Every structure is written in C-alpha cells, then in structure tokens.
Amino acid sequence: MFDGKEYVYAVYKEKSFSKAAQKLYISQPALSTAIKKVEKKIGKPIFDRSTNPISLTPSGEIYIEAIEKLFSLEQNTVNQLNNLNGLIAGSLKLGGTNFYTSFILPRMLSDFSHTYPKIKIELVEGTTQQLVEKLLSEDLDLILDNTEFGDRNYQKYYYDSEHILLAVPRSMEINERLADYRLTQDEVRTGRNNEPDCPELPLEKMEDTPFVMLKDENNLYQRAMAMAQMHNFQPQIILKLDSVVSAFNMACSGIGAAFIPDGLAKHIAYDVPLYFYRLDEKLSLRRIHFVKKRNKYMTRAMEEFIRIAVGDEVYETVSSEETE
C-alpha cells in the first residue's frame, strides 16, 4: 500500500504533478503512472484533479496522514540508531528569522561544527509562521524564536531575553526635542537601555514621525502597536516589511523610525546613523527560546547544540497555559 509514497507526498507538497516530477527528476507521465498504481492498490483516488491547484480527496487525507506518520517513524528510528554511534553521524535542521540566522546562530553553529564536524547541518531562514509550519511537519528539528508558543505542541528551552527599542534616524529634528531620552549605539552596546534610571520614551512624543514597520502578523508589529495604543498614539506608517533587518536598514537610510530588538544595535559591527530610545519595560521585553515539537525524538545532536548555545544549565520553559 505504501510503495510509491514518496511520489504521492511530493505531489501533495507541490500541489502539482509537473512541479513534483521536476523535483523528483522523473517525467510527468512516469509520475502519473506511479500515482495511479497507488490509487489502484488502495481502491480510492488520492487527488482531486478537477481543482486548481490539485487537492486531496477524503481518502487522500487519510493516506497522507498515514505516510507522514511513517516518515516520522523512519526518521526517529534513524535518529535513535545515530545516537548509538555517539555524534559521529546524523543531522541537525535549524530554523530562524533573518536576524537570528544572520547574527545569533552563526557563532553557535561554528562552535558546534568544530566540536562535531560529522554532523550535517541545515539552516533555514523564514518568517515565524513559515518556521512553525516546518517545525510541526518535522522538516526542522529546532527553531530559535521570540514568540510565546504557549500551547502544548511545543517544548521551549530558554536562550536569552531582548528588549525592543525605537530607532530614529539622526537626521530627524525630533531627536533634539528628545535629548533627555535618546541613547547612542555605544550606550545600547553597554546596556544603558536596561538600567533602572534610563527613562522610557512616551510614544505620543513621536507624533507626525514616519514609521517603518513589520507586517501585521509579526510579533514585533503586534507589540509595537500595543505600546502605541497604551499611549493613545497612532503611528504614521509609510512602509511595512517582512524583516526587522530590512526595517533597520530603512531607518539607517533616514526613511523613518523603526522598532528593533536591542541585539541588532549591539551586533552590528559598524556605527549607524541612528539614535535609540527605551520603551515600556513590560511590553518591550521578549524571551528568546529554542523550540522543538513536543513528542519529537530529541537526538543527541539537538541536545548538544542546545547545550553549546545555552550552556550546561539547560532547562525547559513551561508556560502558564501548560500548567493549567
């Protein structure tokens, strides 16, 4: 029944016979023949070919669910066998947003690959939504992210905390009126923004300032708008982007103010033409975690990577929802 499952799954993922055939390096007629053999064996059609793109039939949904369980079982078996060999074989699939893959994960990956050179590493960059989908489908082992992940589908391992700052182009005149609040990049690098006597900027003072924001589904956008609402302030948004690094670069170009994690100002090696402002402590604080799918087998490679990244005192974070 499951002979040819790889062909079926490729069509399901690509939602196209032609794209799946290209990915599998076979001809489309050969792929169609293979799919028909599987459908004949189970006695039901797997795909509804009348829709565009093609979709699963009710029988197809049952079949796909079954082969995903098979794939997961196969991978878990491989992982457990690799664990018997120590860390001389195996793989590690990591994911992160643009900021984390550019500035945080490279050092960790360097340390890990020098310690365990035979482990094959795959690094995937994407939005949080894309990464979560890959985590749940087990296309990724771990992701590094600052989203809350409050439900029981995930296990989280605390890495660090970050604070959201407002970055304002130095060329904007408003900085002169905000001299009591503004911080230089060097002050952010030394942690001045986290000191108790560092004043928080009331966002209503940014009236008429153009803003570069992330798109609505992004956690940073949602927190920024929550802070704005708390101050009865409506930002003048002129541009929305997918990446905080892109928003940061737009601010550096003088286009508008941008909400950024303080780690971005710290990790950029060069000086930027921006002033930075501390924001509301409660809403600006975000915790960063390594996240895995709950019940996914924890390989030695995953354990060792988290230990190298976090330190020897690794602990799982339990959300309030999980304890209710």
Low-confidence winner among 83-92, 129-138, 215-224 (lowest mean pLDDT): 83-92
Spell 62-79 as b/e; 16+ CB within 10 A means b.
Answer: ebbeebeeeebeebeeeb
pLDDT band at 324 (very low <50, low <70, confident <90, very high): very low
- Report which of 115, 280, 105, 272 is spatially closest to residue 203, judged by C-alpha positions: 280
Share of the chain above pLDDT 90, in %: 59
Q: 53 preceded by cis ω (within 30°)? A: yes
- Is the pLDDT assigned to residue 55 strictly greater than 70? yes
CATH class of 161-285: alpha beta
pLDDT for the residue numbered 203: 95
Average pLDDT over residues 140-149: 92
More confident residue, 178 or 269: 178
Q: What is the pLDDT of residue 237?
A: 97
Q: So where are the chain's domains? A: 5-71, 82-160+286-323, 161-285
* Least-confidence region, from 5-14, 135-144, 202-211, 282-291: 5-14
Q: Which of 98, 54, 73 is nearest to 242 (CA)?
A: 98
Give per-residue pLDDT as tens, 237-256. 999 999 999 999 999 999 99
Q: Do the domains 161-285 and 5-71 match in fold?
A: no
Residue 192's pLDDT is 96
Q: Give the SS3 label for residue 62.
A: helix
Percentages (nearest 5) of helix, strand, coil residues in the chain? 45, 20, 30
Q: Which helix (H) or strand (E) holds 167?
A: strand 154-169
Q: For residue 71, what pLDDT band results from cuts at 50, 70 and 90?
A: confident
pTM: 0.72
At residue 224, the pLDDT reads 96
CATH number of 82-160+286-323: 3.40.190.10
**C-alpha R_g of the chain:** 24
For 266, other C-beta atoms within 10 Å of its C-beta total 14
The mean predicted confidence, pLDDT, of the chain is 89
CA 22, 23, 26, 29 torsion: positive or negative?
negative
Q: Is 5-71 in CATH node 1.10.10.10?
A: yes
What pLDDT was estimated at residue 72? 77
* CA dihedral (122, 123, 126, 130) positive or negative: positive
Q: Report the alpha-carbon distance of residue 98 to residue 242 in Å, rounded.
A: 9
- Residue 1: pLDDT band by 50, 70, 90 thresholds? low
Mean pLDDT across the stretch 278-307? 91
Tokens of 277: 């402002």
Average of per-residue pLDDT across 165-174: 97
